[in-house]
Amino acid sequence: MKVGVALSGGVDSAVALYLLLKEGHEVKAFHMKTKEDEFFIRKEIKKKVCCSPSDTADAMRIAHFLGVEIEIVDVKEIFREKVIEPFKRDLLKGLTPNPCAHCNRFVKFGYLMDYVLNQGFDAFASGHYARIEFSEKYGRKVIKKGVDLKKDQSYFLARIEPWRIERLIFPNGIYTKEEIRKIAEEAGIHVAKKQESQDVCFIPDGSIENFLKDEGITLKDGDIITPEGEVVGRHFGYPLYTIGQRKGFKIEKFGRRYYVRGKIPEKNVVVVSDLEDVFFSGLIAEDPVWHVEVPEEFRCVCRVRKKSEEAPAVVKVKDNEVEVRFEKKVFAVTPGQIAAFYDGDTLLGGAIIKEGIR
């Protein structure tokens, strides 16, 4: 086949490209530029992030080494519209958004994939740790978890449009991370031991406060209160906090361990409570994307964050909302995050969490 590959400059996408070449496909690399190079030069990079100037240089070197054409694709405008601006708006609404999931839906497996397919390519590939397989049960191709469950990235693919699955290839899904690095080393790919990207690419210093300041928004300190309204401390800007967090604020009343229970943006207040009060019996999510046909009510397992444990649940679907009831309470159900639904290792789809049910 003629396959376009999203080449980030890291080891995963490099090996995906290499494996496709070994299979005999006609391959071209595409490298996204989400921000201008000057942005990364100005910023202190505390953790490895993607899309930096060094990544572009690595992508070009990989493509040259493997003998494939590479095209640099400017996605800065669509990235700001679909990822950065919604991220900023959601933070100010008191939500905890998931920019990587939105980038996958609208940019990588949206704009970039369309750009590739419109050039006449048969398929679009990336280095994601997930699998594309035909499901006899659902009668179509589905996304499944990668075999390396520690690196599985299916959660971040929960909201991509279902028709795209037919045109996707994830060569790395059947390998572990260690095996991918070994393949890269044996092939002589220079990024075999390159550090993984760990943070949001447009916040390379890891500071949401600095991000908002660059966007013209100055955070204000405010009260930390209990559900009963008692003031027990001070926070340093409500967008900096997420459900279940227990650090990063100043407590003035001691004797208890407090966890963030919620936020009231219009009052610039963070609400804290005891640990048991940040466990939830269910959630309401909105704007679901289903990769397969689902009934109005079904059982599955649900994951509410990338690193959260999967929870068996009953799901009820009505119009543009999903109600989820867990068998056992789940820690830190967080508005703005993605609820991903699985049938075994098959990804059924995902929705944006609107509120937790206690």
Q: Do the bridges between strand 311-318 and strand 321-331 make them parallel or antiparallel, or are there none, so unpaired? A: antiparallel
Candidates 169, 99, 100; CA nearest to 131 is 169
Is 73 annotated to bind a ligand? Reply is no
Of 50, 51, 100, 103, the active-site residue reads 103
Is 188 annotated to bind a ligand? Reply is no
Is 13 annotated to bind a ligand? Reply is yes
Q: How far apart are the first and last CA of the chain?
A: 50
Partner residues linked to 356 by β-bridges:
283
Of 50, 201, 300, 302, the active-site residue reads 201
Nearest 5°: phi and psi at 182?
-65, -40
What is d(CA 108, CA 83) in angstroms, rounded to the nearest whole number? 11
HSE-up (13 A, CA, CB side) for residue 298: 14
Provide, for the chain, the percentages of residues in helix, strand and coil under a 3-state DSSP scheme, each rounded to the nearest 5: 30, 30, 40
Is 127 annotated to bind a ligand? Reply is yes
Partner residues linked to 283 by β-bridges:
324, 356
Instruction: Look up 103 and say whether it is catalytic.
Output: yes
Is 262 annotated to bind a ligand? Reply is no
Which helix (H) or strand (E) covers residue 38, if one does? helix 37-42
Is 292 annotated to bind a ligand? Reply is no
The helix/strand/coil state of 120 is coil
Instruction: Look up 201 and say whether it is catalytic.
Output: yes
Candidates 318, 319, 311, 297; CA nearest to 339 is 311
Is 339 annotated to bind a ligand? Reply is no
Find tokens 């050039």 and name the residue: 119
Is 12 annotated to bind a ligand? Reply is yes
Binding site, by residue number, is 6-13, 32, 127
Binding site for ATP, by residue number, is 6-13, 32, 127
Active site residues: 103, 201
